[in-house]
Chains A and B, each alone.
Chain A
């Protein structure tokens, strides 16, 4: 009986294999895959934002449901095999959000030279990898303007910047913010401090308390999880009757700052539009314009911006911010990337 059973099983396997081969649909216009980091697809940050960009692109171009998909990584040991799995199936574009993918992307790009990749927020120098970076200083300039307008309105003269770690990327945030504040009122004081970590909410709260005690009215944080401490400090103070504000970073943090009903301590946010980056590069692939270059997403192409809805900004201020934005785009204002203290 043994031999016959084996034969039967083998034949069945072949039949199943052939049927499934036939069932494969013909390739659509374009196929896109996203590999998320360990934050998962619904992290309210880079992964989710990038996926939203891909979905928008797919809907605008009527891609079939099967043609755009994601793989979630459970640990960083998964980054490479996940990228390789998509690469094996020969998608038109594979997207990875965040600098954590740098090593895996470098390796996989060399292994699959024909495959097109997009790495967001980090640069891999390979002809088949498009790297998307952001003009953080330009976006920070706009929120600097917002901070100064808000402070002026309340008769205050001090705002503050809380950085995660003191290196060139975060210094761009500081420089832009500072320039934005001075563009409105050169006599304002901008306090600056760095927490030395992106995941230390405790330290963030301590520094925020210090800033507020020194008379700061608005704090702009570019400190990831550390910044959550600043938001918490602001909430505590507002609940106790003080009048202080925080400016969010990377995404619209309005909901993080809600302390009562719909009221939030988040004045506005400097958004890095990873969705725009994903959309733009996908479009380039579709139009056959893909190049393995570094693409800068700035105010001009909507890669950095403040949220569309800003309940804590008046229409007048929003208009002023828009004017400044236009000037940056037209080149009338050139936002520095180095803060005053380092010039």
Chain B
């Protein structure tokens, strides 16, 4: 017990303890909500465990005990939101709020579809081209608000929100204009230009898991490297802490703002490719946003805008999202998972409150000790 106490009081670990407290509290309240509304909370937890580990607690020691397909689908769900999480987190580090991950994702997804439907090349060159198109398209979509911010000091939140809608309607127009498209989807992509993987699918009992898992891993490493290990990343962080001081120190603040938004856009664009040539093998004409960008904000917030944090929170939110079919099959309405994920955000946003409480607790403890 004393070890736990020490951990709670350690100010340098707040970055880890506060999100964990937020998660635990959210699950606790979620459980209470289920109890009060007459839903069996075990159903929700069993679903979550089965989704994230493949282990079926209801059929232990039978041939149905393990089903890796759930793990595959869980990872497939986590892939794009981890990438949009990286996108939002990257901009956050430079003091920018990228609400536009949704739009950057859509243009990225569409660029990937275009490259994979229209070109017919050997896979080893086709896949990089597809991913590169998505990255560049996302970067361009992120560059516009970055440029406007740097040049005219137009707030990036306003521009990115508007550009989300522009992206939605623009990509729908482009997708429908492709030869062979119907009202709801394009023709199938060339298999050489998709991330589909028979190997990953077969080891996860036929799930849709694709090579995007490797792309995400590389993206997480790239994020960490740029932010923590390069002087460019150092400048970005400096701009995020205090733009005026950075300018005084001789850093090109405006240029950094634009680059930061471009890189954020690139991550989101890559997330789009994960969906359009990973989860699906055709481009989809959307009726509305699918909220990958907003999930990304949640992921970045919980992950404390660090590479490793985003990875972990991407897994958690991916798990909550992909557990929904099983939860519903267990009689837990889809809203419960949403309540839990919203509470996590709420509590993480109350970070300073928690830190204050922890500090008070530490002070009190110290006095008693004396």
Measured between beta carbons, the chain B residues less than 8 angstroms from A198 are 183
Of B57, B64, B73, B326, the residue contacting A20 (CB under 8 A) is B57
Of B46, B69, B206, B329, the residue contacting A71 (CB under 8 A) is B329
Q: How far is the CA of A18 from the CA of B59 in the complex (A)?
A: 8
* CB-contacts of B169-203 with A (<8 A): 183-184
Measured between beta carbons, the chain B residues less than 8 angstroms from A74 are 321, 324, 334
What number of residue pairs across chains A and B have CB atoms under 8 A from each other?
A: 64
Q: Are A20 and B325 in contact (CB under 8 A)?
A: no
Measured between beta carbons, the chain A residues less than 8 angstroms from B329 are 33, 69, 71, 85-86, 89
In the complex, whether A88 has a CB less than 8 A from a CB of chain B is yes
In the complex, whether A76 has a CB less than 8 A from a CB of chain B is yes
In the complex, whether A154 has a CB less than 8 A from a CB of chain B is no
Of A72, A85, A111, the residue contacting B334 (CB under 8 A) is A72
Measured between beta carbons, the chain A residues less than 8 angstroms from B246 are none
Q: Are A21 and B206 in contact (CB under 8 A)?
A: no
In the complex, whether A239 has a CB less than 8 A from a CB of chain B is no
Measured between beta carbons, the chain B residues less than 8 angstroms from A199 are 287
Measured between beta carbons, the chain B residues less than 8 angstroms from A24 are 58
In the complex, whether B254 has a CB less than 8 A from a CB of chain A is no
* CB-contacts of B321-370 with A (<8 A): 321-322, 324-326, 328-329, 331, 334
Measured between beta carbons, the chain B residues less than 8 angstroms from A76 are 284
Kindly provide the distance from the CB of B284 to the nearest chain A CB, expressed in whole angstroms: 7
0 or 1 for each of A5-46: is its CB under 8 Å from B? (1 = yes): 000000001101110110010000000010000100000000
Measured between beta carbons, the chain B residues less than 8 angstroms from A75 are 290
In the complex, whether A82 has a CB less than 8 A from a CB of chain B is yes
In the complex, whether B149 has a CB less than 8 A from a CB of chain A is no
Q: Are B284 and A81 in contact (CB under 8 A)?
A: no
Q: How far is the CA of A199 from the CA of B275 in the complex (A)?
A: 25
Q: A69-B329, A81-B325, A82-B325 known; A21 and B60 CB under 8 Å? A: yes
Q: How far is the CA of A295 from the CA of B163 in the complex (A)?
A: 46
In the complex, whether B313 has a CB less than 8 A from a CB of chain A is no
Q: Are A20 and B42 in contact (CB under 8 A)?
A: yes
Measured between beta carbons, the chain B residues less than 8 angstroms from A100 are 184
Q: How far is the CA of A66 from the CA of B69 in the complex (A)?
A: 24
Residue of A nearest to B282 (CB): A103
0 or 1 for each of A195-227: is its CB under 8 Å from B? (1 = yes): 001110000000000000000000000000000
* CB-contacts of A61-107 with B (<8 A): 66, 69-72, 74-78, 80-82, 84-86, 88-89, 100
Residue among B184, B321, B324, B328 with max Cβ neighbours from chain A (10 Å): B328
0 or 1 for each of A168-204: is its CB under 8 Å from B? (1 = yes): 0000000000000000000000000000011100000
Q: How far is the CA of A84 from the CA of B322 in the complex (A)?
A: 12
In the complex, whether A165 has a CB less than 8 A from a CB of chain B is yes
Q: Are B275 and A77 in contact (CB under 8 A)?
A: yes
Measured between beta carbons, the chain B residues less than 8 angstroms from A66 are 331
Kindly provide the distance from the CB of B281 to the nearest chain A CB, expressed in whole angstroms: 10
Q: Are B184 and A81 in contact (CB under 8 A)?
A: no
Kindly provide the distance from the CB of A222 to the nearest chain B CB, expressed in whole angstroms: 15
Kindly provide the distance from the CB of A40 to the nearest chain B CB, expressed in whole angstroms: 9
Residue among A38, A74, A86 with max Cβ neighbours from chain B (10 Å): A74
Interface positions of B (Cβ within 8 A of A): 42, 46, 57-60, 64, 67, 69, 73, 77, 183-184, 206, 208, 275, 279-280, 284, 287, 290, 321-322, 324-326, 328-329, 331, 334
3 tightest A-B CB contacts, nearest first: A85-B325, A71-B328, A17-B57
- 30 residue pairs of the A-B complex, CB under 8 angstroms, read A13-B57, A16-B57, A17-B57, A17-B58, A20-B46, A20-B57, A20-B58, A21-B59, A21-B60, A38-B287, A71-B324, A71-B328, A71-B329, A72-B334, A74-B321, A74-B324, A74-B334, A77-B77, A77-B275, A77-B279, A77-B290, A84-B325, A85-B325, A85-B329, A86-B325, A86-B329, A88-B64, A88-B67, A165-B183, A199-B287
